[in-house]
Amino acid sequence: MPHLTIQATPNVSIPHEESLLKSLNKALWDSGYFDKPTDIKTRILPIETFLVGVEDDEQANGFIYANLKLMSGRDIETRNQLAELLVATIEEKIGDEQSGRAALQICVEVEEISAVYHKKMLGS
């Protein structure tokens, strides 16, 4: 744990997806809140269809939505710090790539995973 899922609209440019994921994992690891680097799992899920607003010209707006799921027990201050860290990392890594392509909104939600969560390691 944690699990980080990134969704980005097609009008947002992420030229090096693996590089973005590595930077996000490193930022989370460097935060000092996690036991092992291999606990941190990230992925990008493409959005094929999206709508921002109600008018055609509003489609020049794009967004990245990041959802970080953590085991329970982190206080609100810690969750806020992690959200701010992820916003800053995403902005640093891809902000310059947008240059007029789309107005970009970065949203990060940090939430606790359900108390009913099971995992099992295979093959290690």
The tens digit of pLDDT for each residue in 55-67 reads 776 667 889 999 9
CA atoms of 113 and 116, how far apart (whole Å): 8
> Which residue segments constitute the domains of the chain, with CATH numbers given?
2-112 (3.30.429.10)
Most confident of 45-49, 87-91, 120-124: 87-91
Please, what is the average pLDDT of the chain? Answer: 88
Integer angstrom CA distances of residue 92 from 79, 88, 117: 20, 6, 33
pLDDT of 58 reads 64
The tens digit of pLDDT for each residue in 62-88 reads 899 999 999 888 999 999 999 999 999
Task: Indicate the pTM of the whole model.
Answer: 0.86
Q: Is 109 helix (H, G, I), strand (E, B) or coil?
A: strand
Average pLDDT over residues 31-52: 92
